Amino acid sequence: MTMHDQLIRILSRHRGEVDRHYPRPLPLHVITQLLQQEEAPDKPAPDQSALIETLHELEAKGEIVSGPGKCFCMAPPSLVIEADSMLNARFLGDRAYLAAVHQHLDSSIEAEDCCLNSPLDPAQARQRLARVGVSLKTWDDLLRALPSPTTPSPLALRHASWNRDPFQLFDWIEHYKPSTATTQPHRWLELFHAEDVSSHLLRLPDHTLLWKIENLFYEITPDVAVLAMFALDREDGRPLLIPWQEATGILDLREIQLPAAYARLLWALSEPAPETWRSRIVRARNRPLVRAALNRLGLEI
């Protein structure tokens, strides 16, 4: 069993102490101990870097969610289908619900399989799944729900004031500057105290992200910052280039940070390439959806 499968089993098995309907968030050190207990006594402890990378992959795929204090738990259960067909439906999230989904949808596939077929139509399936607390969505629903690249509005920033001068805390900071023929990491440039701050989007050495309006600073979340990065790219007419070998379906995402909702969709529509999970293999039937999501971000393929 892979670490991927072990983590899903561990996080789905540990339930809330008061309400068993909900999975219990587990801190990283507890997850490490539980993984070790599943291994043979003579095997070494799980590699921490591999464990964290696998947790990040599961989160990107929409299988788990993370919270404060490096805690993780299973995501709410959902079933994703293609348009109006119940063939090749994909289950995501809390596996404690998986057997009930198979049962309620009259699936002919083994109850542990996350890909299933049902003789029901989507309306019937949605009604039955609602009884057990599982949502039914289409890939098009997920695509339409993706947020558009945008810069933070004054209304969204009204409670995010950051009342310190970053240059009084650090000798240098970084600002995001779109430029032609560069990758996303190389668009973050160092900025020293004597230089003018010409970008709205700033990153401090401790990874705090700020949005600057005139002489005021506002702290923003990583997801807001990523959406702003794509908006700035679009405003400057300097889109990021994403390598995609459409003949083989390999999409190289190693040099790009995606908004969380986009990452969940793309990871669910693809499989990891052998060398790294951040290079994705997209099957032919999923490529139109993946292309539509990338186009919505303004990426150049």
Looking at residue 42, its pLDDT comes to: 67
Q: Computed from CA positions of residues 288, 294, 296, 301, in that sequence, does the dihedral angle turn out positive or negative?
A: negative
Looking at residue 39, its pLDDT comes to: 75
Whether the Cβ atoms of residue 80 and residue 92 lie closer than 8 Å to each other? yes
Looking only at the bridges linking them, the beta strands covering 135-138 and 78-82 are parallel
Segments making up each domain of the chain, as ranges: 3-74, 78-144, 166-226, 244-296
Whether the Cβ atoms of residue 293 and residue 300 lie closer than 8 Å to each other? no
- The total number of residues written for the chain in this structure: 301
Distance CA 17, CA 29 (A): 19
CATH classification of 3-74, choosing from 1.10.10, 1.10.150, 3.40.50, 2.60.40? 1.10.10
pLDDT in single tens digits along all 301 residues of the chain: 788 899 999 999 999 877 788 899 999 999 999 998 877 666 777 788 889 888 888 888 889 988 877 889 999 999 999 888 898 899 999 999 999 999 999 987 777 889 999 999 999 999 999 999 999 999 999 999 999 999 998 888 888 888 888 888 888 999 999 999 899 999 999 988 766 778 899 999 988 999 998 888 999 988 899 999 999 999 999 999 999 987 888 999 989 999 888 988 998 888 888 877 788 999 998 899 999 999 999 998 8
Whether the Cβ atoms of residue 277 and residue 252 lie closer than 8 Å to each other? no
Q: Which residues contact 150 (CB under 8 A, 6 or more apart)?
A: 227, 228, 231
Q: What angle do CA 130, 111, 274 make, to 5 degrees?
A: 105
Q: Is 100 helix (H, G, I), strand (E, B) or coil?
A: helix
Distance CA 69, CA 132 (A): 30
Looking at residue 194, its pLDDT comes to: 61
CB-side exposure of 225: number of CA atoms within 13 Å?
22
Looking at residue 144, its pLDDT comes to: 92
Looking at residue 12, its pLDDT comes to: 94
Q: The tokens of 24 are what?
A: 């219990």
Q: How far is CA 185 from CA 146, 151, 177, 256, in A?
A: 23, 19, 10, 7
The continuous run of DSSP H or E covering 38 comes out as helix 28-38
Q: The tokens of 238 are what?
A: 């300097």
Whether the Cβ atoms of residue 191 and residue 172 lie closer than 8 Å to each other? yes
